[in-house]
Amino acid sequence: MSDIALTKEKYPPGDFGVWIIIYIELITFAMLFLGYAFSRRGDVELFNQSQLMLNQTSGFINTIILITSSYFVAKAVQNVTNMTQENYEEFNKKASKWLIFALMCGASFLVIKIFEFSHIFGEGINLSTNKFFMFYLLLTGFHFMHVMLGSIILFNIFQKTRRFGYTPEDTRGIESGASYWHMVDLLWIVLFPLIYIIR
Amino acid sequence: MKYTSQAVAKPYFIFALTLLAGEILFGLLMGIQYIYGDFLFPLIPFNVLRMVHTNLLIVLLLNGFMGATYYLIPEETQRELWNPKLAIITFWIFLAAGVATILGYLFVPYATLTEITFNELLPTMGREFLEQPLPTKVGIVIVALSYIFNVGMTVLKGRKTVITTVLLTGLLGLAVFFLFAFYVPDNLVADKFFWWFTVHLWVEATWELILGAILAFVLIKTTGVDREHIDKWLYLIIAMTMLSGILGTGHHFFYMGAPEYWLWIGSLSSAVEPLPFFLMILFAYTMARERKIQHENEIALTWAKGTAVMGFLGAGVWGFMHTLAPVNMYTHGTQLTAAHGHLSFYGAYVMIVFTVISYAMPILRGRPHGNSKKAQKVELTSFWMLNIGMVGLTLALTVAGITQIMDQRVGTDLVSFMESQASMTGIYTIRLGFGLLVFAGLMTYVYSFFVEEEAK
């Protein structure tokens, strides 16, 4: 009986609050994706033409980076959730190492994106250039801010692992942060093909 | 009352209720003007009544917020207010400036008012809701600064809680965003931008922080739920409010000469704006369900729950109705906007003032367990009178708005403004009736505080 209660409690991982945020974020981005799709239908030629100005390679590298970062975050969570009263310090340490890799990925994503933005702005493109670039800048801009926030959250979790802050009874924080990070990753996985690839 | 300095809240609450009575009275006069166009002509024209009506609302809410702050800050920080005397002095300054300004609106032609109040030195007058003469605006800044300083010093020296942090952030935002009222660019589009930086970022960002903090405080007191639990909700609500509310400013930039991307930013982010209000309902009801104490002041919790529900209806549902750009193209500036304005200001802000007064006033008057059962019954009657009145008034205005849209904005067979308005006399009469119910509700509310204590 108690086993059932335990498994029930483990899902969804993390705090209920983060799941409310995740669902709202997904809905908001979904509305933007739909807006993009409908606007594209109105002027396919313009969207295809403008899309050629994007750098697909940097977008692809960023996709790989984010997926890899999610792997690192998952490894960190795995370490924390598998620990026991005896070995929790060691597992906190292990988790913190995985989180360093994840943080490095987050930072690399941001740097590559800044280069991409500076190239786009250098071409004199802004929100008013056309509808494609309006969506491109809004979507990637919002996503950029999410990666920044996600990195700050990961950094806080990293610091807590360094203080051996997670115990077998308390893993909610890292699970909440990881859930958020996976959402940021998921959004990019939809965003990248939609804006950069699909013609 | 745990701290004697909490008593400074009392005059603020009394003045807030007095101003509310004034606000409703001027609203009723306008309601009559909608039916009999020349009522009070040429004594007080519609535009003056409207200015008095909206300005009274702003001043009453600021008073209510200040009273609430002065009441809850000592309890939250666990120390006396830094300087209670300062709070009383600023009360009288605020009262004098407020009364003088309203009298100025009523008895001096607005053009003359601009001349005698040095508007030419720094032109700031003439903008909707920010019509105040320069000296009043400067007075508001001085009062706000001294109030924030007083509260800030108390918080710095005392216990810091999530409620005090959220409240102080809201208050600082309130003061900072008011500064945009002093900048009036010549370009009409830029002017609108800066005007909304005050108006929108007050009501749809910083005031919501104040609302959240006061609501959380009253819920802690009346339900006895753990602070940690309440804090988490508060953080969640506040984070969502800020994100959706700040970008939501974009819904005011539709079709006014601002770039097209505002249609998207404004529509999408303001579509999210109802969600924090919905969370507030979950918040209030979950806390009430999980309550650990049965507080004898039951009506305060009723008001708290009511605030969440009515705030969601007025700000959330009635706001969402016309916030999407393609819809707003038809609805902009009709009675539908007025319907939303009435229910959102009442539901979110006037009701939180009622909530805190219902909780704090009995304690301030030496009744720590709330008013007597009999008095609470009377108050509950006033609760329903006020709410039914406001919902009825809002529905009537919504019907008027839709009629106006169909008459004047849809299709090619359009009618003139006056003709459309004249056809709505029946709806406006119903609106006036519900307005009278609201006024009677307020009187009943005030009366409930004078119901005799039952003999024990």
pLDDT tens, N- to C-terminus, chain B (456 residues)? 899 999 999 999 999 999 999 999 999 999 999 999 999 999 999 999 999 999 999 999 999 999 999 999 999 999 999 999 999 999 999 999 999 999 999 999 999 999 999 999 999 999 999 999 999 999 999 999 999 999 999 999 999 999 999 999 999 999 999 999 999 999 999 999 999 999 999 999 999 999 999 999 999 999 999 999 899 999 999 999 998 999 999 999 999 999 999 999 999 999 999 999 999 999 999 999 999 999 999 999 999 999 999 999 999 999 999 999 999 999 999 999 999 999 999 999 999 999 999 999 999 999 999 999 999 999 999 999 999 999 999 999 999 999 999 999 998 999 999 999 999 999 999 999 999 999 999 999 999 999 987 655
Say yes or no for a CB contact (<8 Å) between B261 and A24. Answer: no
pLDDT at A2 over 80: no
> CB–CB of B268 and A15 under 8 A?
no
Residue A152 forms contact with B (CB below 8 Å): no
pLDDT score at A12: 84
| Closest CA in chain B for residue A35 | B264
Which of these, B85, B93, B53, B87, lies nearest to B67 by C-alpha position?
B87
Query: Are B264 and A138 inside 8 Å of each other by CB?
Result: yes
Where in chain A are the domains? 16-197
Contact of A41 with A126, CB cutoff 8 Å: no
Tokens of B31: 């309601």
> CA torsion angle for A80, A86, A89, A95 (degrees, to 10)?
-20
- Is the pLDDT at A1 greater than 70, yes or no? no
3 state SS of A170 = strand
Mutate to test the interface with B, among A18, A19, A28 (most CBs of B within 10 A): A28
The yes-or-no verdict on residue A189 having pLDDT over 70 is yes
Residue-level pLDDT at B353? 98
Among the partner residues B260, B265, B275, nearest to A128 by beta-carbon distance: B260
Closest to A126 in 3D by CA, of A190, A195, A188, A50: A50
| A31 in reach of chain B (CB within 8 A) | yes
A12 cis-preceded (ω within 30 degrees of 0): yes
Q: What CATH architecture is A16-197?
A: Up-down Bundle (1.20)
Contacts with B240 from chain A: Cβ below 8 Å: 21, 24
Query: Which tens digit of pLDDT belongs to each residue from A138-181?
Result: 999 999 999 999 999 999 999 999 999 999 888 999 999 999 99
In order, the DSSP letters of A5-29 are HHHHHHSS-S-HHHHHHHHHHHHHH
What secondary structure does DSSP assign to B32-62, as a single string? Answer: HHHHSTTTTTTTS-HHHHHHHHHHHHHHHHH
Smallest CA–CA distance, residue B259 to chain A, in Å, is 7
Testing the interface with B: which of A31, A133, A139, A145 to mutate, by most B Cβ within 10 A?
A: A31
| B268–A17 C-beta distance less than 8 A | no
Encoded tokens for B7: 């008593």
DSSP-H helix ranges across B251-333: 261-272, 274-289, 298-311, 318-320, 325-331
Contact B232 A15 (CB under 8 A): yes
DSSP letter assigned to residue B317? I
pLDDT band, residue A47 (cuts 50/70/90): very high
Q: Which of B232, B259, B272 has the CB atom closest to A24's CB atom?
A: B272
Q: Which residues contact A59 (CB under 8 A, 6 or more apart)?
A: A116, A192, A196
Cα B76 to Cα B68, B218, B227, B403: the distances in Å are 12, 11, 11, 49
pLDDT band at A14 (very low <50, low <70, confident <90, very high): confident
Kindly identify which residue of chain B lies nearest to residue A127, measuring between CA atoms.
B261
Backbone angles phi, psi at A130, to 5 degrees: -160, 180
Q: Which two tokens stand for residue A12?
A: 């969804």
Asked if the Cβ–Cβ distance from A127 to B259 is below 8 Å, we say yes
From B271's Cα to the closest Cα of chain A, the distance in A is: 9
**pLDDT value at A6 more than 90:** no
Contact (Cβ atoms closer than 8 angstroms) between residue B106 and residue B29:
no
Asked if B240 lies within 8 A of A128 by C-beta distance, the reply is no
* pLDDT attached to residue A17: 85
CA distance B278 to chain A (A): 12
Q: What is the pLDDT of residues A63-122, one digit of tens each?
A: 999 999 999 999 999 999 888 888 899 999 999 999 999 999 999 999 999 999 999 999
Residue of A nearest to B258 (CA): A128
What does the alpha-carbon distance between residue A13 and residue B158 come to, in Å, rounded to a whole number?
36
pLDDT of residue A82: 87
pLDDT confidence of residue A7: 45
Give me the pLDDT at residue A11, please.
Answer: 75
- HSE, CB side, 13 Å, CA atoms: give it for residue B133: 22
β partners of residue B127? B130
Percent of chain A with pLDDT over 90: 83
Give the residue-averaged pLDDT of A50-58.
Answer: 94
Contact state of B259 with A128 under an 8 Å Cβ cutoff: yes
For residue B269, list chain A residues with Cβ-Cβ distance below 8 A. Answer: 28
What is the reported pLDDT for B456?
Answer: 53
Which run of H or E residues covers position B139?
helix B134-157
Q: Minimal Cα distance from A27: which residue of B?
A: B272
pLDDT at residue A5, as a whole number: 43
Residues of chain B in Cβ contact (below 8 Å) with chain A: 232-233, 235-236, 239-240, 259-261, 264-265, 268-269, 271-272, 275, 279
Tell me which residue in A21, A31, A127 faces B271 most closely, judged by beta carbons.
Answer: A31
Write phi, then psi, for A198 (nearest 5 degrees): -60, 125
- The set of long-range contacts for B417-422, using a CB threshold of 8 Å and a minimum separation of 24, is B421/B34
CA angle A82–A83–A87, rounded 5-degree value: 150
